[in-house]
Every structure is written in structure tokens, then in C-alpha cells.
Amino acid sequence: MDIYKTLWFHKWATKEGLTDRALRTAIMEIKDGLIDADLGGHIFKKRVGLIGRGKRRGARTLVAVKWDQRAIFLYGFAKNERTDISARELKALKLWATVLLSYEANELTKILEAGELVQVKHDE
């Protein structure tokens, strides 16, 4: 499964110290059924540990998943910043996820080249 992150998520994750290794681990856990919430519309909420803070005081991520094809980290927030997202935000994320997950390989390549998505590294 290919794993990506939106440009916004990439910048946020870098600032928070959230590594690609942690993101890959989160996707493996989701595949194993270890999720915090299925929000519908292919979006899952997943806690991810931050260096020195662990999962409990770590980050919450929202990831769009198209099984056995791709996962895209859309949004993240530290637990101490906010408790959840609003219904309006979730609706927008579901629409965005539908679009991103529907892209064919050539369209995805164009988005990667434009810098709107960043591929999660396998060798971190």
C-alpha cells in the first residue's frame, strides 16, 4: 500500500516531530483493525505517538484509506490543541478524501510532482 500525506499534514507533522516511521506504523495498525474511530467516507482517526510523549499525549491523525491501494494522511492535531473536529470539517474532509482516493496513477503522479502530496518514505 502506498502512503502519502498532504502538504499541510507534512508541514504540521514535521513541526510536531512526527516521523514517517510512525506514520507507516499507524497504517499497519489500521490494517490490523487497531483504529480509534471509523468516521465514515474512508476516513479513520488514529492516535500516533510523538517522540517523548507517546500515544496518550501524542497526536491525532485523520487518514483516508482505500484498502490495498493507498492511504493519505489528511489532517492532524495534538491532543492538547483540540479534542476533535467539527461536523463541518469532517464533511469537507470526506469530500476531499473521495477526490484524492479516486485519482488514477497518472493523476497521482501529477499531484506529487506539483508538491501537493508527499510520499511517506520507506527508509527512514
Q: Tell me the per-residue pLDDT of 4-32, one tens digit each, with 9 for 90 and over.
A: 999 999 999 999 889 999 999 999 999 99
Distance between CA atoms of residues 47 and 61, nearest Å:
6
Which tens digits make up the pLDDT trace of 85-110? Answer: 899 999 999 999 999 999 999 999 99
Helix (H) or strand (E) holding 99: helix 87-102
Q: Is residue 33 left, alpha or beta, with left meaning phi > 0 and alpha meaning psi from -120 to 50?
A: left
Q: Any residues with CB less than 8 A from the CB of 39 and at least 6 apart, and which?
A: 45, 62, 90, 94
Break the chain into its structural domains and give their ranges.
2-119
Distance between CA atoms of residues 2 and 37, nearest Å:
21
